[in-house]
Structure 1
Amino acid sequence: MSDLLAQAARKSTAAESDPIIPSADDEPLYESRREIYQQSVKGRLRTVKWVVLFACLGVYYFLPFLRWYRGPNQPDQAVLVDIANNRFYFFFIEIWPQEIYYFTGLLVMASLVLFLMNAVAGRVWCGYLCPQTVWTDLFTVVERWVEGDRRERMIADSKPMSVAKAGRKVLKHFLWLMIAWWTGGAWVLYFADAPTLVKDLATFQAPMVAYIWIGILTFTTYALAGLMKEQVCLYMCPWPRIQAALTDQYALNVTYRYDRGEPRMSMKTAARAREAEQPAGDCIDCHQCVVVCPTGVDIRDGAQLGCIQCGLCIDACNTVMAKVNRPLGLIAYDNDVNIDRRRQGLEEVYPIIRTRTVLYAAMIAAVGLVMLYGLVTRSFTEMSVLHDRNPLFVQLSDGSVRNSYTVRILNKRPLHRIFVLAVDNLPLARLSAVGITTTSGDWPVIDVGPDSTRELIVHVTAAKPADLPQSTRVTFRITELGTGEKASAVDHFISR
């Protein structure tokens, strides 16, 4: 026993001295979160972000109330996901469940557009259009309106809690919850008639599932946009990791032009250095690019995971450069190639049109054209035929042979339609449908209700089976009376 204890002690001592095994004094795997006090900024890119923010929020919150007339007894909401009736309405487009490939095409196009945006201007999606960015920006505006700008919030947080401070905190979180609540409420409006559902929600007559989803989306919006903020971009979002593998040296990214900004020094020191014909950079180390960053990164340290390419540091730096009478654009959208070209005295290049971007654009156009062709040429009538297996055929007393089929006719239009059912490629054939007595010539006439499917048992009888091969390929065809719209399906007639 003593030998075992001695061996264990030696192993413990070796482990403590082994530099490969981490000790308690090593740095933690994850950096502790620090509070980011984002400072407001004015400028061209900030204005662009305001326009995008209001446009995105306006579309999201008010699109369910937009009306679009589709005819009598049809929903008039412009964008509606009608789960009860298995429909998706988007203005004049109506998508059925079996047309899920249109959604697949939209997802493919969205991915390709994201790739194209990345090839042109890096993470421009993250900086301007991402829902996390838009709602976090909105929550930050509310926070700034209630608690003040960066300096006021820092001073207030450094002081002990008081009634006034607690009141501002409560008001801020209340407004955040109201925005989150309306965000969740707007989402469920896409799944039912918006004005009716708003009334039902207010009178507590809406389905329970609506309240559940509003609660879920209220919590997630409040947590992600109000509490977690930049943590979502740093740790939860996969796109920063993916886009790094898709970018190249010609993509425009928010870049600190260190060839011009270094070495950093104060204004007075830089002025003396220039008088002495010594190198002096334009960066005065004011840290304005850092304090306006929503994720708290220092763009002067180069490309980083936390930089969402929002461009606010560009506006902040340009404001400072204008005040110190230095050229604008110390921080700008630029590519990696131009830094080396400027050092060599060469002209800057911005090749937006290149193989990568042309390929992405061509793929987007191809997918879009295929979907457009499908929408333009798609039929509002479909049919399917299934041959009965037991028995495959029946020989009648007069020597003729009968095959039975299950025929399904799908009417995608919101009105009753009348079709004539016929069979081709089978000479001297007779066709009858169980329960159908109306005929047009020798063929049965079938009435199909609006937005519905009708299933029929159909008997096809061949008068001279001896003249037919064992299996004959036949075509079932329906033709709408009046419009002449057609649909067909192929099966086989078994004669022996």
Structure 2
Amino acid sequence: MSDAQQAVNQENQDPGGHGSGPLYAERVKVHPRIFKGPFRKWKTILLWVFLAIYHFSAWLRWDRGPGVPDQAILFDLPGRRAYIFWVEIWPQEVYYLTGVLILAAVGLFAAAAIAGRVWCGFACFQTVWTDLFMMVEGWVEGDRSKRIRLDKAPMSLNKLMKRTVKHVIWLGISVFFAISFLWYFNDAPTITKEIFTGQIGGWTLVTLLLLTAMTYMMAGFAREQVCFYMCPYGRFQGVMTDEDSLLVTYEAWRGEPRMKGAKNKDFSDRGHCVDCGLCVQACPTGIDIRNGQQMECIGCGLCIDACNVMMDNMGLPKNLISYDSYTNMVAREEGKGKQVHLVRPRTIIYAAILTGVMAVLMLSLSMRDRLEVNILRDRAPLFVTLSDGSIRNGYTYKILNMESQAKSYELSVEGLEGATMTMIGQEEKDQPTLKLDVKADHIGSYRIFMKAGRQNLDGKSTNIDFVLKDLETGEIHSQSTVFRGP
């Protein structure tokens, strides 16, 4: 249990039973100690990898043709488009984003079933940002012991200088992170130029300031408190793991009973844990993994590196703390062989769901139409009787050209003999066909009036089809509607 948690428990105790004890205790700052080891090495490597992915992907270019943004990942809110490499998502195709969210959620569940909170420990935004901030803190203020002494020391010129340098760097990182967020919603080079020339304002400036403040507070001050109280993942992690999930585990069967030190390194009548506390010192959330599985454990494995350092010093086998499953730990305690079951019903179900959703998304993307037509018939009035006795209906005809090139179409009507059309903005009147031009990646909206002789109508409502022909490819798109009459 961490110092902070112990403090909370002590404050919450009420020996007199009168309910007079305070409900909350002041947070005890966690000062993690750095130990060399494979988990620390991979955590550092992945830190820079994920920082690059999260904050520079917006600078990747993707040629989509003239008149279309060439940014690989762009959420164009004014243009109501989302561009993700070769995929262009229109507002009516938001279900694709829903599919991506389902993949992310199920992928998180699958990762938890296999290796617990491995996402939290190595890839989560909060973890990555906090790691970077703590790295800066170590560079400026020194190792764990120096940071603790500096916190307790009265304010001095040296302390003021170190704190000032640290917070200036933190603020600089926070501003950069906020700018990188804006890159995904604007052309990255353009918005960067506007920011540094002071040309931004309104909601863009508000967003920049809010994201800067939020990153600075969350990574610089809140840190593990975000994982404890704000992130829901730790709360329901227990239902996503089982006895075969690989979790950061203290091998109590081997470590207990724990005792301080060991004369002549004799461990014949005691456990291998020397109660050094290095595992607690290395933990970024300040917990003691020897107390069993806890919600606060983010699965980073840094306590494993710390414990292995002590095991080496004591000449004992490594991995007193390790990534292990309950099933395997029991098997090892009983002297049986290694038992790791990565393939089991739970992981098979998650894999099937992921495969199915991915297949549906890919199939849908490969088969989706790049042309969409929408017809809205006038309802007031339903029809107009002209002076020559013919009947006229009005329509709003919209063409969504999702291609990266301009298109020309020919529009005709079927199902109503002798029908002619007139389009507002076109000089020709009462034509059997109309020529419609639509820009690349654009919505063309046209106001069309259709006229037909009363004798050709099929009662009050005549079923008709608007037939749209691509003049370049010859492809036909037909949309049904009705023509109203008396």
Normalising by structure 1, report the TM-score. 0.88
Q: Alignment partner of 2:184: what SS?
A: helix
Separation in 2 of the partners of 1:239 and 1:164? 40
Which residue of the other structure, out of 24, 40, 43, is the alignment partner of 2:34? 40
List aligned pairs for 1:49-68, cutoff 5 A.
Answer: 49-68=43-62
1:313 aligns with 2:303: yes
Other-structure match for 1:367: 357
List aligned pairs for 1:282-361, cutoff 5 A.
Answer: 282-361=272-351
1:387 aligns with 2:377: yes
CA gap of 1:292–1:479, structure 2 versus 1, over 3 A, is same
Contact preservation (8 Å) 1:400, 1:465: no
CA gap of 1:408–1:318, structure 2 versus 1, over 3 A, is same
Question: 1:231 Cα deviation (Å)?
Answer: 1.0
1:106 aligns with 2:100: yes
Question: 1:86 Cα deviation (Å)?
Answer: 1.7
Worse-matched range after superposition: 441-450 or 317-326: 441-450
Separation in 1 of the partners of 2:475 and 2:314? 74
Separation in 2 of the partners of 1:235 and 1:211? 29
Contact preservation (8 Å) 1:401, 1:465: no
Contact preservation (8 Å) 1:407, 1:458: no
Q: Alignment partner of 1:407: what SS?
A: strand
Separation in 2 of the partners of 1:206 and 1:273? 67
Other-structure match for 1:83: 77
> What number of residue pairs does the alignment pair up?
471
Which whole-Å deviations, capped at 9, do the CAs of 1:252-300 have from their partners, x for residues lacking one? 11000111111112452584451xxx3x211111111110000100000
Other-structure match for 2:244: 250
CA gap of 1:310–1:448, structure 2 versus 1, over 3 A, is same
Separation in 2 of the partners of 1:19 and 1:43? 44
Worse-matched range after superposition: 479-488 or 227-236: 479-488
Contact preservation (8 Å) 1:139, 1:225: yes
Question: 1:403 Cα deviation (Å)?
Answer: 4.3
Q: Give 2:190's aligned amino acid.
A: T
Other-structure match for 2:19: 23
The structure having more radius of gyration, on CA atoms, is: 1
Contact preservation (8 Å) 1:465, 1:495: no
List aligned pairs for 1:48-447, cutoff 5 A.
Answer: 48-269=42-263, 271-272=265-266, 274=268, 278=269, 280-393=270-383, 403-424=393-414, 426=415, 428-435=417-424, 436=426, 442-447=432-437
Q: Alignment partner of 1:423: what SS?
A: strand
Separation in 2 of the partners of 1:461 and 1:371? 44
Contact preservation (8 Å) 2:416, 2:462: no
Q: Give 1:159's aligned amino acid.
A: A
Worse-matched range after superposition: 191-200 or 219-228: 191-200
Q: Give 1:324's aligned amino acid.
A: M
Contact preservation (8 Å) 2:372, 2:401: yes
Contact preservation (8 Å) 2:265, 2:314: no
Contact preservation (8 Å) 1:64, 1:77: yes
Contact preservation (8 Å) 1:341, 1:347: yes
Q: Give 1:430's aligned amino acid.
A: A
Q: Alignment partner of 1:59: what SS?
A: helix
Which whole-Å deviations, capped at 9, do the CAs of 1:37-77 have from their partners, x for residues lacking one? 11012111111111211011112232222222222233222
Structure 2 unaligned regions, length at least 5: 1-13
Identity of aligned residues (%): 41
RMSD: 2.6
CA gap of 1:360–1:475, structure 2 versus 1, over 3 A, is farther
Worse-matched range after superposition: 302-311 or 60-69: 60-69
Which whole-Å deviations, capped at 9, do the CAs of 1:131-150 have from their partners, x for residues lacking one? 11000000000000000010
CA gap of 1:313–1:344, structure 2 versus 1, over 3 A, is same
Question: 1:380 Cα deviation (Å)?
Answer: 2.1
Q: Give 1:257's aligned amino acid.
A: E
Question: 1:155 Cα deviation (Å)?
Answer: 2.5
Structure 1 unaligned regions, length at least 5: 1-17
Contact preservation (8 Å) 1:288, 1:313: yes
Other-structure match for 1:453: 444
CA gap of 1:391–1:288, structure 2 versus 1, over 3 A, is same
Which whole-Å deviations, capped at 9, do the CAs of 1:138-191 have from their partners, x for residues lacking one? 000000000001011122333322211211111111111111111111111222
Separation in 2 of the partners of 1:22 and 1:196? 64
Worse-matched range after superposition: 352-361 or 447-456: 447-456
Contact preservation (8 Å) 2:398, 2:443: no
Q: Alignment partner of 1:244: what SS?
A: helix
CA gap of 1:273–1:139, structure 2 versus 1, over 3 A, is closer
Question: 1:335 Cα deviation (Å)?
Answer: 1.4
Contact preservation (8 Å) 1:427, 1:462: no
CA gap of 1:102–1:273, structure 2 versus 1, over 3 A, is closer
Q: Give 1:240's aligned amino acid.
A: G
CA gap of 1:20–1:66, structure 2 versus 1, over 3 A, is same
CA gap of 1:209–1:410, structure 2 versus 1, over 3 A, is same
Other-structure match for 1:13: none
